[in-house]
A and B are shown apart, each in its own frame.
Chain A
Amino acid sequence: GNSVTQMEGPVTLSEEAFLTINCTYTATGYPSLFWYVQYPGEGLQLLLKATKADDKGSNKGFEATYRKETTSFHLEKGSVQVSDSAVYFCALSAVYNFNKFYFGSGTKLNVKP
Chain B
Amino acid sequence: GAGVSQSPSNKVTEKGKDVELRCDPISGHTALYWYRQSLGQGLEFLIYFQGNSAPDKSGLPSDRFSAERTGGSVSTLTIQRTQQEDSAVYLCASTQGRSSYNEQFFGPGTRLTVL
- Asked if chains A and B come from one complex, the reply is no
> B interface vs A, CB < 8 Å?
none
> A interface vs B, CB < 8 Å?
none
